[in-house]
């Protein structure tokens, strides 16, 4: 199947996106967004009311995304990391997205290289193989040799893909705003912000200079570590649309017969790969976020060659420390610490959610407390955690969601090498060592230095700030804004109290009026009327008094 080429303007592409969604059974969604008028009539009508079962719906979404092309494929791959947003069926289906399309003709690639370097490939390289060794939606990879003799691989971006991506990103942003304004699920999550984050990630992946910088960052982090090999980047032959890197030859980590034939200890390899990932996450805060088996090679010397640095994740020191404390809290059965650390990690938890969340976390962790480490399924725990997060509609930072998905994929990769692999057994000594190092004196001093500077600056600024505060209070220029939570409940209570007070005043006034009427008219001969008024008035006053007394007693009991 030849790759689709779009020569339409944005409106034509918009209509094409809508028609593909309608053809795959998402007319009901288009109707909610008010876009069904752009779909072909039969699909727009039939798809409006037919909502297929969740697994079938997830599969149709994957097929639609694959037909929509590069922007949506990359979005689907990123969404497959967001189990906090999507049901399990969608996450599993989107994880199957294939980013593989037929290669561009050689002359198209040659023209792209010439545009970037001002010369055809045969002049830039000593050899440039015409047959690609890999082809994806953004670019394709060719083997080559530099004139200095190094064997390299050259990744060349498809011409025009950047224009198509920007058109599609504009359409996605429009769809996100429509969903946020027209649907309940769209109003719960900040969809425009999610699309903006995705756009930043995709633009970064399309910038091959940034990918090369990511590779250099990993090389610095693992300098001197014999277990990981990062290919060198040849910057004189790299631009935003062409990336040239060292060629690594080895056995794919998913090629189990090949590993057996080479005499590789798969159990030891699984443990080494997991340790490398833990170093990326907990020590460096800079991790490879696309760990599918095709990006891992086992080299001749037994080291692991890591490929494709387009998608990476970053977590700061505060988040790494929060993860450390979260794991310690889970291991020590301290549920309050676990919930507190979720807030530290940027997962918003309000006071109403806290107790329910604490209960759900306790129910999850109780399934694993007391089990041997080899029986603790870390990937399953992470999956259940994301289910809880989704149930409570908590907002999870993108980098943390990416981290959780990456960790689960890495454990799956290790288990494919060794079915008896236990991530918990590898994590425990690593966590204990990091916790111990965290509280060594030299590390305390390292953190106390900036804190001492902050405290010193505060002591210098405090008198001046206090003087400004007092001056503002004296001249009335300071205003205090207060936000009272649950104001509707407070107002309801006050309204009830005022209403009862008014009724009590009316009852008292009515009693006084009856007494005055009796005194005035009893002496002039209207004794029968006075008797009637007295009976009616006493009944009303007694009824109001009894009702008020019951309300007051009930309120006092509550």
CB environment 130-149: b (16+ within 10 A), e (fewer)? eebeebbbbbbbbbbebeee
Q: How far is C-alpha 449 from the chain's CA centre?
A: 34
Order of all β-strands in the sheet with 296-298: 228-229, 304-306, 296-298, 251-252
Residue 370 DSSP symbol: T
| Contacts (Cβ under 8 Å, ≥6 apart) of 243 | 154, 155, 208, 211, 212, 233
- Helices 317-331 and 423-438 pack at an angle, to 10 degrees, of 120
| Phi/psi of residue 83, nearest 5 degrees | -70, -10
Enumerate the active-site residues: 290
| Phi/psi of residue 132, nearest 5 degrees | -70, 150
Question: 108-117: long-range contacts (C-beta < 8 A, 24 or more apart)?
Answer: 108/158, 108/159, 109/140, 109/142, 109/156, 111/159, 112/156, 112/157, 112/158, 112/159, 112/241, 112/242, 113/154, 113/156, 113/242, 115/241, 116/239, 116/241, 116/242, 117/237, 117/239, 117/242
């Amino acid at each position: 199947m030849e790759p689709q080429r779009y020569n339409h303007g944005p409106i034509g592409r918009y209509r094409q996106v809508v028609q593909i969604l309608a053809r795959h059974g998402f007319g009901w969604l288009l109707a909610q967004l008010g876009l069904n008028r752009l779909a072909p009539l039969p699909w727009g009508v039939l798809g409006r009311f037919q909502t297929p079962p969740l697994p079938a719906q997830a599969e149709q979404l994957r097929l639609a995304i694959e037909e929509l092309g590069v922007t949506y494929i990359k979005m689907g791959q990123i969404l497959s990391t967001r189990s906090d947003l999507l049901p399990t069926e969608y996450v599993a289906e989107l994880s199957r997205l294939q980013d593989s399309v037929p290669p561009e003709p050689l002359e198209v690639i040659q023209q792209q290289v010439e545009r970037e370097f001002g010369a055809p490939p045969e002049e830039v390289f000593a050899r440039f193989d015409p047959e690609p060794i890999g082809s994806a939606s953004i670019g394709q990879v060719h083997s080559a040799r530099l004139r200095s003799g190094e064997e390299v691989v050259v990744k060349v971006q498809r011409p025009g893909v950047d224009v198509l991506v920007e058109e599609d990103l504009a359409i996605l942003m429009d769809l996100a705003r429509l969903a946020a304004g027209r649907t309940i699920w769209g109003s719960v999550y900040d969809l425009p912000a999610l699309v903006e984050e995705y756009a930043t990630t995709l633009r970064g992946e399309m910038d091959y200079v940034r990918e090369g910088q990511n590779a250099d960052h990993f090389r610095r982090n693992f300098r001197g570590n014999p277990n990981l090999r990062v290919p060198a980047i040849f910057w004189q032959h790299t631009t935003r649309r062409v990336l040239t890197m060292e060629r690594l030859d080895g056995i794919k980590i998913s090629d189990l017969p090949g590993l057996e034939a080479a005499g590789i200890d798969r159990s030891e390899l699984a443990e080494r790969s997991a340790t490398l990932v833990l170093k990326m996450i907990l020590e460096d805060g800079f991790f490879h976020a696309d760990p599918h088996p095709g990006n891992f090679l086992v080299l001749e010397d037994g080291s692991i060659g890591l490929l494709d640095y387009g998608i990476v994740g970053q977590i700061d020191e505060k988040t790494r420390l929060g993860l450390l404390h979260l794991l310690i809290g889970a291991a020590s059965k301290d549920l309050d610490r676990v919930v507190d650390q979720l807030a530290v990690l940027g997962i918003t938890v309000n006071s109403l959610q806290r107790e329910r969340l604490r209960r759900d976390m306790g129910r999850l962790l109780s399934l694993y407390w007391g089990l041997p480490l080899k029986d603790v399924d870390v990937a399953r725990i992470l999956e259940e955690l994301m289910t809880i997060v989704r149930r409570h509609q908590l907002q999870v930072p993108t980098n943390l969601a990416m981290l959780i998905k990456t960790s689960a994929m890495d454990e799956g990769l290790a288990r494919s090498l060794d079915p008896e692999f236990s991530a918990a057994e590898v994590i425990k000594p690593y966590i204990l060592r990091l916790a111990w190092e965290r509280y060594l004196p030299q590390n305390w001093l390292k953190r106390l230095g900036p804190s001492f500077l902050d405290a010193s600056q505060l002591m210098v600024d405090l008198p001046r700030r206090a003087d400004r505060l007092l001056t503002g209070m004296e001249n009335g220029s300071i205003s205090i804004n207060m936000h009272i939570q649950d104001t509707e409940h407070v107002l309801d209570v006050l309204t009830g109290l005022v209403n009862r007070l008014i009724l009590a005043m009316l009852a008292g006034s009515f009693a006084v009026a009856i007494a005055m009427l009796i005194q005035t008219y009893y002496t002039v001969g209207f004794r029968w009327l006075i008797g009637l008024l007295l009976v009616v008035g006493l009944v009303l006053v007694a009824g109001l008094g009894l009702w008020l007394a019951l309300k007051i007693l009930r309120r006092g009991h509550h």
